[in-house]
């Protein structure tokens, strides 16, 4: 199967500044792929190169097997983009803006109108079809950008911070919409600052930092790389740290907090049963156990903390 996006050694320089530094990754067709990274990591530059709004300085990029420069028309025909910025034609009502967008993709006028209506209904702003973009609320503007990306029925939907600044209800509505699209076969490339969003939606995420891919993995795999916390509460609070042999090297730290035992370990869920057995055998009376998994956010912060975190794991 041809990958939806295939990137090899992609580089983008602005004078002395390197925005993308040899990025390589592959996004499988039909997947829900997240692109995470702090501000200035190169996420939007990456997207802009894919859709023709920025020119690469080096490397290769293909969309469904089509080179983004030599076969730009075929590549762009498969893509729908909902950008971070509100870059909408203010001269026309939103339905006409969608009709124009469909027309630019070669969709004849009657079908373009039908698709425009469907896209507006899909995102729930059909009743605003004769309104100009400026008169929409912030949430409706965000919905409209997604409608514009959907009007051409793209095989690859690129969403650049789609839920930035929207309320919780709308965020959940948009999650539901894009999840449905993905289940229908549309490949999704999502950039987001909300780690919860990536954790909840994405099959796989790439973490980008300072123009380089730090890692590509499933959210679950990433979280396994973090440190979990096991908190054990005893009937009688303890004052000295017991000797812990459990965990087979996975235990990173043991400490006492307010009479409770706090054990930091990778894959804490696996360590906990062994720990309980060991403490029980040593005569400790356990009344409560809590295993707190590391969050994707903590892993993200750890991976993007410093230059030294950059590894050679760029190629997925």
Partner 1 sequence: MSRPTVQLRTLVRREILRFVRRPYNTFLPPIITNTLYFAVFGVILGSRIGSIAGVSYIQFVLPGLVVLGSISDAFENASFSIFHGRWNDYIDAVIVTPMSNLNMVASYVIASAIRGIVTALLIVGVGLVFTSVPISHPFYLAANVLVITTLFGGLGIIGGLWADDFDYLTVMNQFILRPLVFFGAVFYSLSVLPPLWRQVSLLNPMVYMVNGVRYGMIGVSEVDPNTSLAVLSTATVAVLAADYLLFRRGYGLTE
Output the smallest distance, CB 108 to partner 1, in A.
6
Residue from 151, 158, 176 nearest 75 by CA: 158
Output the smallest distance, CB 154 to partner 1, in A.
11
List Cα–Cα distances, 61 to 19, 83, 206, 273, in angstroms.
Answer: 16, 19, 16, 47
Nearer residue to partner 1 within complex by CB, 66 or 171: 66
Output the smallest distance, CB 76 to partner 1, in A.
5
Output the smallest distance, CB 295 to partner 1, in A.
34
Nearer residue to partner 1 within complex by CB, 108 or 283: 108
Nearer residue to partner 1 within complex by CB, 155 or 173: 155
Residues that bind partner 1 in the complex, under the rule CB under 8 A:
14, 45, 48, 51-55, 72-74, 76-77, 79, 81, 83, 85, 87-92, 96-97, 99-101, 103-109, 112, 148
Nearer residue to partner 1 within complex by CB, 76 or 171: 76
Query: Looking only at Cα atoms, what is the longest distance across the chain?
Result: 79
Nearer residue to partner 1 within complex by CB, 102 or 296: 102
Residue from 107, 6, 100, 99 nearest 60 by CA: 6
Output the smallest distance, CB 86 to partner 1, in A.
8
Residue from 211, 275, 261 nearest 49 by CA: 211
Nearer residue to partner 1 within complex by CB, 98 or 214: 98
Output the smallest distance, CB 208 to partner 1, in A.
17
Nearer residue to partner 1 within complex by CB, 106 or 259: 106
Query: CA 243, CA 284: separation in Å to the nearest integer?
Result: 12
Output the smallest distance, CB 81 to partner 1, in A.
6
């Amino acid at each position: 199967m041809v990958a939806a996006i295939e990137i090899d050694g992609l580089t983008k320089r602005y004078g002395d500044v390197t925005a993308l530094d040899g990025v390589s990754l592959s996004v499988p067709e039909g997947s829900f792929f997240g692109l995470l990274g702090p501000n200035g990591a190169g996420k939007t530059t990456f997207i802009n190169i894919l859709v023709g709004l920025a020119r690469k300085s080096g490397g290769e990029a293909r969309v469904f097997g089509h080179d983004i420069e030599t076969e730009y028309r075929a590549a762009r025909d498969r893509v729908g983009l909902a950008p971070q910025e509100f870059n909408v034609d203010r001269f026309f009502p939103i339905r006409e803006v969608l009709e124009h967008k469909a027309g630019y993709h070669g969709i004849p006028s009657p079908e373009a109108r039908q698709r425009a209506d469907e896209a507006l209904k899909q995102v729930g702003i059909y009743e605003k079809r004769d309104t100009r973009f400026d008169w929409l609320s912030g949430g409706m503007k965000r919905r409209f950008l997604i409608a514009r990306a959907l009007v051409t029925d793209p095989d690859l939907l690129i969403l650049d911070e789609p839920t930035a600044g929207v309320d919780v209800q709308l965020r959940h509505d948009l999650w539901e919409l894009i999840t449905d699209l993905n289940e229908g076969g549309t490949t999704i490339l999502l950039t987001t600052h909300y780690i919860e969003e990536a954790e909840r939606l994405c099959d796989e995420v790439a973490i980008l930092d300072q123009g380089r891919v730090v890692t590509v993995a499933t959210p679950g795999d990433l979280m396994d790389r973090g440190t979990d916390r096991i908190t054990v509460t005893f009937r009688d609070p303890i004052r000295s740290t017991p000797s812990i042999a459990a965990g087979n090297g996975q235990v990173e730290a043991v400490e006492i907090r307010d009479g409770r035992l706090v054990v930091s370990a990778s894959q804490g869920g696996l360590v906990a049963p062994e720990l309980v057995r060991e403490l029980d055998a040593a005569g400790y009376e356990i009344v409560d156990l809590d295993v707190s998994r590391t969050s994707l956010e903590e892993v993200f912060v750890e991976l993007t903390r410093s230059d030294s975190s950059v590894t050679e794991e760029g190629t997925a």
